[in-house]
Amino acid sequence: MTDGPAGGFELGFLRVGTPTDPDAVDRVVREEENDAVRARARQLFPHLGRPVVQARTCLSTITPDEHVVVGVHPEHEQVSIGCGFSGHGSTFVPVMGEVLADLAQHGRTPHPIGLSDPTRAALRPAAA
């Protein structure tokens, strides 16, 4: 949110779109995408009257089960992993910093990170 005459806000959809390669992503924003964002904005802010000023494609990393990956690397115990935060990792910076520091220093953390295990089944390639 930005106040003042030139103010505005950012609104987007998370986990919408097509899996892509970052080197080949289609960055064209289509009118139906703008229409969907405008419709959602009107639901959230019924008095909103300003036009869309800018629209752009945004990429984020999302794991197949939509849970982050946090833990000690399964083959290299000196490596701690923290990834897959889907574009909103900044929300978790304080606790993830603590967790990753624990893992780097001690190889474990008192925080419950089992759901984020780098070796969980959802991250393994599908059987051929």
The domain limits of the chain are 1-59, 69-123
Q: Which of 88, 93, 69 is nearest to 15 (CA)?
A: 88
Distance, in Å, from the CA atom of 76 to the CA atom of 99, rounded to the nearest integer, reads 17
0.75 exceeded by pTM: no
Give the pLDDT confidence of 23-67 residue by residue, as tens digits.
888 888 888 888 888 888 889 888 877 777 788 888 877 888 888
Report how far apart, in Å, the C-alpha atoms of 79 and of each of 16, 51, 97, 116 are.
32, 47, 14, 15
Give the pLDDT confidence of 26-37 residue by residue, as tens digits.
888 888 888 888
pLDDT at residue number 103: 95
* Choice between 61 and 96, residue whose per-residue pLDDT is larger: 96
Distance, in Å, from the CA atom of 70 to the CA atom of 89, rounded to the nearest integer, reads 12
pLDDT at residue number 96: 92
pLDDT at residue number 15: 63
> Which distant-in-sequence residues (6+ apart) come within 8 Å of 95 by Cβ?
111
**Mean pLDDT value across residues 92-108:** 92
